[in-house]
Amino acid sequence: MLDQANFLVPPIYYVALSGILFILGMVGVLLRRNAILIFMSVELMLNSANLAFVAFARSFLDVNGQVFVFFVMTVAAVEVAVGLALIVAIFRTRRSIDIDELHSMEG
Amino acid sequence: MIGYILFGLVALVAIVSAVGMLLSTNAIHAALFLVINLICIALFYLGLNAPFLAMVQITVYAGAIMVLFLFVIMLLGAEQVTLKSQLKWQAPLAIVLAVVMIAATFLLFFNVQASGGLSPLAPISEDPRQTETFGSPYAVGEVLFGAYLLPFEMTGVLLLVAMIGAIILTRNEAGGMRDEQRAASNE
Q: Domains of chain B, with CATH numbers?
A: 1-83 (1.20.120.1200)
| A56 vs B contacts (CB less than 8 Å) | 121
- Comparing CA positions, the residue from A25, A28, A64, A16 lying closest to residue A47 is A25
pLDDT digits (tens, 9 = 90+) for B84-99: 666 677 778 888 888 8
Distance between CA atoms of residues A100 and A57, nearest Å: 40
Mean pLDDT of B26-30: 90
Question: Please, which pLDDT band fits residue B179 given cuts at 50, 70 and 90?
Answer: low
Please determine, for residue A30, whether its predicted confidence score (pLDDT) is greater than 50.
yes
Residues A8 and B124: beta-carbon distance below 8 Å: yes
Phi, psi of B85 (to 5 degrees): -125, 155
Residues A80 and A39: beta-carbon distance below 8 Å: yes
pLDDT digits (tens, 9 = 90+) for B103-158: 888 888 777 766 665 544 545 555 655 666 777 888 888 889 989 999 999 999 99
Please determine, for residue A43, whether its predicted confidence score (pLDDT) is greater than 90.
yes
Contact flag A44-B21 (C-beta cutoff 8 Å):
yes
Q: In chain B, how long is the greatest CA-to-CA distance?
A: 71
Residues A19 and B105: beta-carbon distance below 8 Å: yes
Partners of B26 in the β-ladder: B80
Partners of A98 in the β-ladder: A34
| A97 vs B contacts (CB less than 8 Å) | 76, 78
- What percent of chain B lies above the pLDDT cut of 70? 78
Q: Find the closest chain A residue to B183 by CA distance.
A: A93
CA distances from B184 to A9, B76, B177, B187 (A): 60, 18, 11, 5
Contact flag A43-B65 (C-beta cutoff 8 Å):
yes
| A39 vs B contacts (CB less than 8 Å) | 69
Q: At what angle do helices A35-60 and B27-47 cross, to 10 degrees?
A: 0
CA distances from B141 to A61, B9, B25, B67, B130 (A): 16, 31, 42, 27, 16
Strand segments (E) across chain B: none
| A44 vs B contacts (CB less than 8 Å) | 18, 21, 34, 37
- For chain A, which residues make up each domain, given as ranges? 11-98
Question: Please, which pLDDT band fits residue A80 given cuts at 50, 70 and 90?
Answer: very high
Mean pLDDT of A12-27: 89
Prediction ipTM score: 0.88
Contact flag A44-B102 (C-beta cutoff 8 Å):
no
Q: Find the closest chain A residue to B118 by CA distance.
A: A12
Amino acid sitting at position B39: I
Distance between CA atoms of residues A14 and A77, nearest Å: 24
Helices (H), B77-177: 90-114, 128-133, 137-144, 149-170
Phi, psi of B80 (to 5 degrees): -80, 125
pLDDT at A72: 93
Distance between CA atoms of residues B58 and B69, nearest Å: 15
Highest mean pLDDT among A33-37, B22-26, B162-166: B162-166
Q: Does A28 touch chain B (CB under 8 A)?
A: yes
What DSSP character marks residue B65? Answer: I
Partners of B124 in the β-ladder: none
Q: What is the CATH number of domain A11-98?
A: 1.10.287.3510
Q: How many CB pairs under 8 A join A and B?
A: 227
Question: Please, which pLDDT band fits residue A2 given cuts at 50, 70 and 90?
Answer: very low
3-state secondary structure of B86: coil
Contact flag B18-A47 (C-beta cutoff 8 Å):
no
Please determine, for residue B40, whether its predicted confidence score (pLDDT) is greater than 70.
yes
What DSSP character marks residue B173? Answer: P
The minimal CB distance from B170 to the residues A7, A60, A89 is found for: A89
